[in-house]
Structure 1
């Protein structure tokens, strides 16, 4: 039986209403639904970028607020929709997280760039000189530098063109397979959810309206809400 990582009990936060959810180690969760349904808010609860207004969240069986926040965020790394990089070089960004914990080791930078398919020559590049797709790759590599157990992805490809989306998806698939990362991803792209996910959560009106295996829940939706969402997306 898979190990439970997160358990949410009657969680409420702004738009979110009575969220009950368990996430097991190794799952690839895709969160999708209409705008304003609480997808990003739900994702942010997993590393305490936001805290619930009521209800409880358990992390490995203990209340999530009993964990040290920097350590929690180290283990639950997040990549946001728009890459917020420090205005220095690529290498400075990669070193930042591990240096906070005195864990940076020279030589890690080459491996991190390999993970996201960037050449070594990029290490000394100012981040302001990078394209949008390159910045998102550096953002992913910076998160991976902390050796997270869980990867939280908040629409990381929504601002990219099709070529960059396909390339970053390939990187993510390789990482999820090779590092056995538990992944929780918000996406508006149902084709992406099918390609990357093993389990889907459909949110609407702040509630989990439907959940199930992917891609099966798209082929046989159980609710009218999901069927309508599929039809317009």
Structure 2
């Protein structure tokens, strides 16, 4: 990566210029970002990957967030200090987008996309150490939040992701470390899954960005 030109990204032998410098700022071009995302998506997920027209509005919001366009994000009621909670029906492309979008800003600190159920499986094996491990200063996107099973370690049940979200909230309040997540659940279902206390913290932790409920399953 060229730190003097982070808006110019090289993939193989091809360069993608996502915008131009204006003074000390990068002025990004949304259409050029989409071209890059389509190409990068095919490299990451296979030649059948494509950016769908029906997703342009949600991609526009997400791109503004990732490039940290304060003015436009403010107009859309997106707080760039918070993380993203990307919600939508099964197969709409949430996970792929969260794996993909971080590549448009290679100069920013990246995050790991971790399936929530894998964290619970690790808890079942290793116990409460796992909650501490994910309450650290690394950045995460918890994938498929809310459909993971309860954790069980030596007969004790634990709502593992609920506890981790409380730790992540504390980390955000005290040190401004972001957390991202994807979910198939709506606000009511999340509250039923994690309780009102965690749901309240999630409002402070995340910007909710939601696909239309009628978005098609792209896996079919």
What TM bracket, shorter-length normalisation? 0.3 to 0.5
Q: Tell me the TM-score normalised to structure 2 length.
A: 0.47
Higher strand share: 1
Larger RCO (CA within 8 A; separation ≥ 6): 1
